[in-house]
Chain A
């Protein structure tokens, strides 16, 4: 999968805040907990990824712990490069400039030269600052051949009303370096000239979170979060292209995309956990909006069917509607039109992402658990936007994505 390199920060915040749970206390004042997962992700005709994760947590006292997480990510396959399909085969040069690849007629151009290995390490320290005040500090680093990222985050949680209400606040800062294969291309330039700005570019991300968790009843929990994110620096995808087409819809040139140097984004997230006997319903809704013009609504529903003996089955449905595309998203650019920013990256377009999944878990001895998760994800968008000139009117301009995900988890305490 075109694993975007911008993922780390909110993950950092999410992970950091995970440990602030007033929840299942470890049964000991000290001890180790290890959990490992391996994800296999495979898109039809596109990208495959294998991602093992290992997390080791050491309990220092009842309220304090340190955890280390290591992730390795291996990606192979082909990914849409942003250019439009045409009635004749097209040849593109790979980012390195050393190879070329050809796309058959009437097919979405895919760049098959991607081969990515990523390594990420994060360290987390959770400790209490008072009986009803907890903090988590986290640092992480990730690296791959064309991208490096380093970040820090801090989260605080304070309880009120005998722990019926919890206020959470978090802040994180990330500093990334983009070092694309073949150098950083000049945005909006014709790929033929291979003009380069530099070898590397930087990006900074600042994120903040404020949330409240409220116990609604003995069996229901509600969480409301607002997150704010500010990205600045080089936000363009150095490998993505835009087709410049004539009135017949045929490409006259291929240009590099260019995105603004700032991105401010917001998310409002609400979720409830409700127990029905031993079963649990998890429902969440997120509304996202940013200054690039993207709006999205995401609903996630899970129902955990708990069986006696401790094993469970949890079907999941996730529906995400990106209802408004980025202002500078264009599946193609008509010749002669000048723009300040443009990107044909379908992930900025209006689209829906639907996932159907199921998880099955079995408790193992020593308070551990073994689980299997399987999911099927489909992404669809506007295949035939209005006004597509010439041959483009008969082409599928939104490359649908279909992917299967299989994940194995194992955790144990010792």
Chain B
């Protein structure tokens, strides 16, 4: 639990600080719109990798996506 506190704080900072970070405008998202810049453009690759590594190691988890991209619609 104590290890989670710094993470929660950094998450909060990133969200709040997001307003202070260099903002990328909706018309500047050309690079972020590319398939190669998606957090998970290849869900089957991720699925198969997770399957292999969680079978061969005790450590697992962490991945889950959302955000980035072209931001269209």
A residues with a Cβ closer than 8 A to B are: 1-4, 6-7, 10-11, 13-18, 20-25, 35-37, 39, 41, 51, 53, 55, 62-63, 69, 71, 134, 155, 157, 159-168, 170, 207, 209-219, 221-227, 229, 265-269, 271, 273, 275, 278, 280, 286, 288-290, 292, 294, 296, 298, 304, 306, 312, 320, 322, 326, 347-348, 351, 353, 359, 371, 373, 377, 379, 401, 405, 407, 409
Q: List 10 A-B contacts (CB under 8 A).
A: A22-B66, A63-B73, A155-B64, A168-B65, A168-B67, A211-B11, A218-B30, A221-B39, A224-B11, A265-B61
Report the separation of the CA atoms of residues A222 and B65 in the bound assembly, to the nearest whole angstrom.
11
Choose one: B26, B37, B42; the contact of A221 (CB below 8 Å). B37
CB distance from A378 to the nearest CB of B (A): 11
Choose one: B32, B44, B61, B68; the contact of A10 (CB below 8 Å). B61
Q: Residues of A contacting B41 with CB < 8 Å?
A: 23-24
Q: Residues of A contacting B15 with CB < 8 Å?
A: 160, 165, 167, 212
B residues with a Cβ closer than 8 A to A are: 3-4, 7-8, 10-11, 14-15, 18-19, 21-26, 28-48, 50-73
Q: With A164-B24, A224-B10 given, is the CB distance from A268 to B55 under 8 Å?
A: no
Q: With A10-B60, A157-B66, A294-B59 given, is the CB distance from A405 to B72 under 8 Å?
A: no
Q: Residues of B contacting A161 with CB < 8 Å?
A: 18-19, 23
B58→A51 contact, CB < 8 A: no
Choose one: B7, B31, B59; the contact of A275 (CB below 8 Å). B31
Q: Residues of B contacting A168 with CB < 8 Å?
A: 64-67
Q: With A21-B68, A161-B18 given, is the CB distance from A62 to B25 under 8 Å?
A: no
Choose one: B11, B24, B48; the contact of A212 (CB below 8 Å). B11
Q: Residues of B contacting A266 with CB < 8 Å?
A: 3-4
CB distance from A23 to the nearest CB of B (A): 3
Q: Residues of A contacting B39 with CB < 8 Å?
A: 18, 21, 23, 213, 221, 223, 271, 273
Q: Residues of B contacting A36 with CB < 8 Å?
A: 44
Write the chain B residue with the least CB distance to A326: B58
Report the separation of the CA atoms of residues A218 and B34 in the bound assembly, to the nearest whole angstrom.
12
A39→B48 contact, CB < 8 A: yes
A4→B65 contact, CB < 8 A: no
B48→A218 contact, CB < 8 A: no
B55→A3 contact, CB < 8 A: yes
Q: Residues of B contacting A7 with CB < 8 Å?
A: 50-51, 54-55, 60
B61→A212 contact, CB < 8 A: no
Q: With A14-B46, A223-B39, A306-B36 given, is the CB distance from A288 to B60 under 8 Å?
A: yes
Q: Residues of A contacting B45 with CB < 8 Å?
A: 37, 359, 373, 407, 409
Q: Residues of A contacting B42 with CB < 8 Å?
A: 371, 409
A215→B7 contact, CB < 8 A: no
B63→A1 contact, CB < 8 A: no
Choose one: B29, B44, B69; the contact of A21 (CB below 8 Å). B69
Q: With A51-B51, A210-B11 given, is the CB distance from A20 to B57 under 8 Å?
A: no
Closest 10 CB pairs of A and B: A213-B67, A23-B69, A166-B67, A269-B62, A296-B59, A157-B66, A168-B66, A288-B59, A163-B71, A165-B18
